[in-house]
Amino acid sequence: MATIGLDKLYYAKITEDAGGEETYASPVQLAKAMTAELSVELAEATLYADDGAAEIVKEFKSGTLSLGVDDIGATAASDLTGATIDKNGVVVSASEDGGEPVAVGFRAKKSNGKYKYFWLYRVKFGIPATNLATKGDSITFSTPTIEGTILRRNKPDAKGAHPWKAEVTEGDTTVTAATISNWYKTVYEPSYGASAPTE
């Protein structure tokens, strides 16, 4: 089903242990979301046998997330890009800056009024692009765009896989109300076992 909206853009800082496995901080709101473009790059391999393709493997390699937002506050700019906030509250960007990866969550409204929720487990952002224009006869809003590279997370899930994205659609019969209501309280951790309970 088509989506008609985008909101509730959050991020969670990542702490890594000695083995590189992630622990996520409590999610905080990043900004008011305007656009989100997600593209994925796959690693592909084809095994040929008996004059034909015998096996084809396609695996997630990386992705790109481009976010159009209304504004990036000082704290979020520091967390996402590695910029420094000086004693006067000024955000200072240096050529040596390099932000640490964060988890990014958001939701998209569907045409039936329900939402599709997302968590991207590991996104490393670059410097936000800024578009400025002088005021003319009409009003034009200039808003920042920030682009990040999506990576798989280092920490394996219960199946030993390394997820890069979690998504759920509100109202699906196997989705509990608690999954939706807790989506922004913590970064979602995959849970396997028996089939999901219904409510």
Q: Is 27 part of a structural domain of the chain?
A: yes
Q: Is 195 part of a structural domain of the chain?
A: no
Which domain does 37 fall in, by range?
7-134+143-181
Q: Is 188 part of a structural domain of the chain?
A: no
Q: Is 34 part of a structural domain of the chain?
A: yes
Q: Is 22 part of a structural domain of the chain?
A: yes
* Residues 6 or more apart in contact with residue 177 via CB below 8 angstroms: 199
Banded pLDDT at 14 (limits 50, 70, 90): very high
What helix, strand, coil percent values describe the chain, rounded to 5? 5, 45, 50
Asked if 11 and 80 count as a contact pair (C-beta separation under 8 A), the reply is yes
Number of domain units in the chain: 1
The pTM for the full model equals 0.73
Of 63-67, 110-114, 132-136, 177-181, least confident by mean pLDDT is: 132-136
pLDDT tens profile 118-173: 999 998 887 765 555 555 555 444 456 778 888 889 998 888 889 989 989 988 88
Q: Is 2 part of a structural domain of the chain?
A: no
Q: Is 199 part of a structural domain of the chain?
A: no
* Residues 6 or more apart in contact with residue 122 via CB below 8 angstroms: 14, 22, 101, 102, 103, 150, 151, 152, 153, 154, 164
Q: Is 198 part of a structural domain of the chain?
A: no
Nearest alpha-carbon partner for 102 in 67, 131, 60: 67
The number of CA neighbours under 13 Å toward the Cβ of 134 is: 1
